[in-house]
Structure 1
Amino acid sequence: MRAIIILSKFLGNTFAYWVLIFAVLSYLMPQWFIFLKPAIIPLLGLVMFGMGLTLKIEDFSEVIRHPGRVALGVIAHFIIMPGVAWLLCQVFHLPAEIAIGVILVGCCPSGTSSNVMAWLAKGDLALAVAIAAVTTLVAPILTPALIWLLASAYLSVSFIDMLYSILQMVMLPIILGVMAQKIMGRRIDVAIDILPLISVVSIVMIVAAVVSNSQSKIAESGLVIIVVVIIHNTFGFLLGYFTAKLFKLPLAQRKSLSLEVGMQNSGLGAALASAHFSPIAAVPSALFSVWHNISGALLSTYFRKMKEDSHSDVKPGENGSTNKILQ
């Protein structure tokens, strides 16, 4: 068991490198990983269940006591990402169909994998989950409204389908994890020690599945779209972080806000683009799905090494259940 725990910590510390290696490998040899596509949702559910094992009820009560942090994250998300998308379309003079695809992914809610990255980054997981859930709940109204405003198009988004998706892939596994923790008590500590191993393997498999199944679209998309996607995602991370810093949030919350603003539900974007526009409009979402998992992994690795500054208002022990898993 000790060897497994050591391996678990090693993989947690080198997480970003494994994501990069398998992203490249699955692009070069997509036939090796394409079979993983049906496993994406179960794997994400497994990671979310593991996070639930580390959460305490107090983590959520802290978020309830600070609703302004959640509101700040939601507002920042729906201003920064659509705004940056629109500006990039103007700067790069993108063709109409590609521009619509870029704006569409910018108007989507937070991606579910952002919760995983916030957890690995030792951010405030409860805040990250709350922001992702609220952006998803308001997306049926805000997403088509923003697309109509910025791209002169209107999308009919199913509130029930999006709500069911976030409940199935994020909220339900986390709730089950919290319940398992309450039932098993201290007996769950051994499982927590090997969760980094499970989470890293699961996320690497998810990235490999996404890359291998999007390989042909990525090959055909061209350099300009790739550059736009990278810039879009990077500005989301930066502006999200500095927005939180501007409002003097502690480091853990700054990490979560950065990741929740910069990472999108690009799977939803690809599905909506395919249904309402042309196939090429789905390419920015497909590329974003690949890139934000790689960049999110790199950023979470960097964030984990950051230390709270002396002016932080984080109290001793606050957010400890989130940090414990990767210590």
Structure 2
Amino acid sequence: MTDVDQIRIAFDEGSLTTLRIVLALILLGVALDTRVSDFTRALRRPWAIIVVVIAQFLVLPGITLLLTLALDLRGSLALGLILVACCPPGNVSNILTHRAGGDVAMSVSMTAVGNVLAIFLMPLNLAFWGSLHPTGSELLRDISLDPVEMLGEILMVIGLPFVVGISLAHRFPTFAERARKVVGPVAVVGLGGIIVVGVANNWALFTAYIGLVVVAVFVHDALALLLGYVIGRTARLPQASVKASTFEVGIRNSGLGLLLVFAFFDGLGGMALVAAWWGIWDMIAGLAVAMVWRRRTGVSPLEDPRPVAVGENA
């Protein structure tokens, strides 16, 4: 069997453009559900935001690097996990927090802050942590990853939709409330369709190598959720806020990671497999945790009064 570091997943330019549009719509859905007050709310609760940001952008990538070394993963698989760890959260974290009976207002604030910070921190984070992996660093040198170029890509699929969405939500709140109920689900269906078509077009490679990533993704996802829980408990946050921190750290926008794999890593096999499977398993695990949590602890009075529609984002 060919080394997973040597395979490439076929993905044409038209599909890449479609993926960019879909991800921009997903982030537009996040922004349409964000208000300026979410940022001011975050400023009123700085300690909670700070500990979650540190967990997202520093601790999780560091733990991920250690995991790739402990499992002795090949370079492309290791870079795939590190890339996912560096991705921002999507508002699936808000939905799962709502399902678990957690503090949705805090979750929305964290998602907004996390996505803004990720625009600048994600390229630097990936370059830094990837360079520390023995074989992953070799792949990065071969690819000559340019953080500035990646920043431009992230600005287009996160920054621009986020600014547009928040502006619409601020000036036309009624329209934004209606639009987010359409934009999010349509974008998620589109992303699912892209992944299904991509898997179908590369079925032989998918079945040959998926076994290499299942265990790594399972452990990594469990560690991410556990980190969010532990960081919330260590910071002595209320139980509802601990639920929010669990999903804000544990749920990552792996669709963005998938775009970057094809845009900057030429569809590097191990990275693409990790990003695709992580997105699927992350949702399954997150829903399971939310359901168990809600049954055991019930609904918190701290829930955001704004409705959260199922399937709004990935």
What TM-score results when the alignment is normalised by the length of structure 2? 0.71
Corresponding residue number in structure 1 for 2:100:
none
Cα 1:218–1:127, aligned 2, differ >3 Å: closer, same or farther?
farther
Structure 2: gaps of 5 or more residues: 1-9, 98-103
1:148 paired to 2:131 = yes
Q: Which runs of 5+ in 1 are unaligned?
A: 1-29, 91-98
- Deviation of 1:311 after TM superposition, in Å, equals 11
Cα distance in 1 for residues equivalent to 2:252 and 2:150:
17
Whether 1:70 and 2:68 are equivalent positions in the alignment is: no
Instruction: Report what 1:14 is aligned to.
Output: none
**Which of these residues, 220, 228, 240, is aligned with residue 205 of structure 2?**
220
Name 2:39's counterpart in structure 1. Answer: 60
Query: Given the alignment of the two structures, is residue 204 of structure 1 paired with residue 184 of structure 2, yes or no?
Result: no
**Pair 1:79-2:62 in alignment:** yes
1 CA distance for matches of 2:57 and 2:224? 10
Aligned AA (1:324): V
Task: Tell me the alpha carbon deviations over residues 279-315 of structure 1, each in whole angstroms, 9 at most, x when there is no partner.
Answer: 7xx1112212321222233234435544397699x77
Cα gap change, 1:70/1:172 in structure 2, threshold over 3 Å: closer, same or farther?
A: same
Answering whether residue 226 of structure 2 is matched by residue 242 of structure 1, we say yes
**Cα distance, 1:285–1:59 mapped onto 2, change above 3 Å:** same
Distance change >3 Å, CA 271–CA 151, structure 1 → 2: farther
- Aligned residue number for residue 280 of structure 2: 294
Contact 1:110 1:264 in 2 (8 A): no
Task: Output the CA distance in 1 between the equivalents of 2:250 and 2:218.
Answer: 10
- d(CA) in 1 for partners of 2:153, 2:286: 24
Deviation at 1:141, TM superposition (A): 4.0
Pairwise CA RMSD = 3.7
Q: CA deviation at 1:164?
A: 2.0
Q: Deviations over 1:47-94 (max 9, x none)?
A: 32222222122322333423222112212221122222222226xxxx
- Aligned-residue identity in percent: 14
SS at match of 1:325: coil
Distance 2:86 2:199 in 1: 18
Aligned length: 276
Aligned partner of residue 46 in structure 1, secondary structure: helix
Tell me what 1:265 maps to.
Answer: 257
Q: Confirm whether residue 284 of structure 1 aligns to residue 270 of structure 2.
A: yes
> Structure 2: which amino acid aligns with 1:105?
G
Q: What SS does structure 1 have at the residue aligned with 2:151?
A: helix
Structure 1 38/206 Cα, relative in aligned 2: closer, same or farther at 3 Å?
A: same
TM-score normalised per structure 1: 0.69
Alignment check: 8 A CA contact 1:78 1:107 kept: yes
What corresponds to 1:101 in structure 2? 76
Q: Does 1:184 align with 2:172?
A: yes
The change in CA–CA distance for 1:262 and 1:76 in structure 2 (over 3 A counts) is farther
Query: Hey, what's the Cα distance between the residues in 2 that align with 1:74 and 1:182?
Result: 28
1:216-265 deviations in Å (ceiling 9; x for gaps): 54522554x31232222222221122222222152122111111398872
TM-aligned CA deviation for residue 176 of structure 1:
1.6
What residue in structure 1 maps to residue 147 of structure 2?
159
Mapped to 1, the partners of 2:251 and 2:66 lie a distance apart of 17
